[in-house]
Chain A
Amino acid sequence: MNLDAILLSLKLAGIVSVVLLVIALPLAYWLAFTKWRGKFLLESAVALPLVLPPTVIGFYALIAMGPRGPLGKVWQSLFGRSLAFTFAGLVLASLLYSFPFAVQPLVASFESLDRRLLDASAVLGAGRLRTFTRVIVPLSWPGLVTAAVLSFAHTLGEFGVVLMVGGNLPGVTRTASIDIYDRVQALDYNGAHQMALLLLMIAFAVLSIVYGVNRRVWSPWTAR
Chain B
Amino acid sequence: MLNVQIRKRLQATDSPAFSLDVTETFAPGFTVLFGPSGAGKSTLLDCIAGLLVPDEGHISLDGEALFDAERGLSVPASQRKTAYVFQSLALFPHLSAEENVAYGLSGVSATERTERITGILSTFHIEGMRKRKPRELSGGEKQRVALARSLVTRPRVLLLDEPLTGLDSGLRQSILQDLREWNAANRIPIVYVTHNREEVDAIGERVVALSDGRVRESGLPRNVLDAPRAAELAQAAGFENLLWARVTEHREKDGVMHVELAGAKCGLEVPLGSVRPGQEVQVAIRAGDILLATEAPRALSARNLLPGIVESLETMGALVVVEVRAGVRFTVHVTSGAARSLQLAPGREVWVVLKTYSCHIVTRQ
Binding site for B on A (CB under 8 A): 114, 116-117, 119-127, 130, 134-135, 138-139, 220-223
Q: Give complex CA distance A134, B102 in Å.
A: 12
Tell me, rounded to whole Å, the shortest Cβ–Cβ distance linking B42 to chain A.
10
Q: How many residues of B contact A (CB 8 A)?
A: 29
* A-B contact sample (18 more), CB < 8 A, given A124-B153, A139-B92: A116-B86, A116-B90, A120-B86, A120-B92, A121-B92, A122-B51, A123-B50, A123-B150, A124-B103, A124-B149, A125-B104, A125-B106, A135-B92, A138-B94, A139-B94, A220-B94, A221-B93, A222-B135
Residue of B with least CB distance to A128: B78
0 or 1 for each of B138-181: is its CB under 8 Å from A? (1 = yes): 00000000000110010000000000000000000000000000
Kindly list chain B residues whose C-beta atoms are within 8 Å of the C-beta of A222. 93, 135
A221 adjacent to B94 (CB under 8 Å): yes
- The 3 nearest A-B residue pairs measured at CB: A124-B104, A120-B90, A116-B90
Contact A122 B135 (CB under 8 A): no
The answer to whether B330 has its CB under 8 Å from any CB of chain A is: no
Give the distance in Å from the alpha carbon of A70 to the alpha carbon of B88 in the complex: 53
B83 at the interface (CB under 8 A from A): yes
**Inside 8 A of A130's CB, which chain B residues have their CB?**
106
Q: Which residues 34-88 of B sit at the A interface, judged by CB distance below 8 A?
A: 46, 49-51, 76-84, 86, 88
Instruction: Knowing A135-B92, A223-B135, say if A125 contacts B153 (CB, 8 Å).
Output: yes
Report the bound CA distance from A130 to B105 in whole Å: 13
**Provided the pairs A119-B86, A120-B86 are in contact, do residues A125 and B92 lie with their beta carbons within 8 angstroms?**
no
Whether the pair B94, A122 counts as a contact (CB closer than 8 A) is no
CA distance A114 to B88 in the complex (A): 10
The answer to whether B107 touches A120 (Cβ under 8 A) is no
Residues in A whose Cβ lies below 8 Å from that of B133: 221
CB distance from A205 to the nearest CB of B (A): 27
CB distance from B93 to the nearest CB of A (A): 6
Chain B's nearest CB lies how many Å from the CB of A185? 52
| A residues less than 8 Å from B79 (CB atoms) | 125
**Do residues A125 and B107 form an inter-chain contact, with CB atoms below 8 A?**
yes
User: A138 CA to B100 CA in the complex, in Å?
Assistant: 14
B residues at A contact (CB < 8 Å): 46, 49-51, 76-84, 86, 88, 90-94, 103-104, 106-107, 133, 135, 149-150, 153
Are A121 and B83 interface neighbours, CB within 8 A?
no
Residue of A116, A125, A126, A220 touching B88 (CB-CB under 8 A): A116
User: How long is the Cα–Cα vector from A124 to B133 in the complex, in angstroms?
Assistant: 19
Cβ contact within 8 Å between A123 and B93: no
Chain A residues lying within 8 Å of B86, measured Cβ to Cβ, are: 116, 119-120
Chain B residues touching A, majority SS: loop
Q: How far is the CB of A34 from chain B (nearest CB, A)?
A: 16
Q: In the assembled complex, which residues on chain B have CB atoms less than 8 Å from the CB atom of A135?
A: 92
CB-based contact B78/A221 at 8 Å: no
Q: Contact at B94–A125, with CB atoms within 8 Å?
A: no
B78 x A123 contact (CB < 8 A): yes
Smallest CB gap from B80: residue in A: A123
C-alpha gap A117/B93 in the complex (Å): 9
Q: Smallest distance from the beta carbon of B46 to chain A beta carbons, Å?
A: 8
Bound Cα distance A114, B49 (Å): 18
By the criterion CB–CB under 8 Å, are A123 and B49 in contact?
A: yes
CA distance A138 to B93 in the complex (A): 10
Interchain CA distance A139-B91 in the complex, whole Å:
12
CA distance A121 to B91 in the complex (A): 10
| Min C-beta distance of A144 to chain B, whole Å | 13
Q: Which residues of A contact B107 (CB under 8 A)?
A: 125
**Distance between Cα atoms of A125 and B82 in the complex (Å):** 9
Cα–Cα distance between A119 and B48 once the two chains are bound (Å)? 13
A77 to B94 alpha-carbon distance, docked (Å):
49
Closest residue of chain A to B136, judged by CB? A223
Chain B residues with CB under 8 Å of A220's CB are 94
> In the bound complex, how far is the Cα of B150 from the Cα of A139, in angstroms?
21
Q: Which of B51, B90, B103 contacts A126 (CB 8 A)?
A: B103
Q: Please give me the residue from chain A that is nearest to B149 by CB atom.
A: A124
CA distance A68 to B127 in the complex (A): 69
Q: How far is the CA of A130 from the CA of B104 in the complex (A)?
A: 11
Q: Are B78 and A125 in contact (CB under 8 A)?
A: yes
Verify B77–A119 contact, CB threshold 8 A. yes
Residue on B with the closest CB to A131? B78
CA distance A114 to B325 in the complex (A): 48
| Best-surrounded residue of B94, B104, B150 (most CB of chain A within 10 A) | B94
CA distance A222 to B88 in the complex (A): 17
Q: How many angstroms from the CA of A145 to the CA of B295 in the assembled complex? A: 76
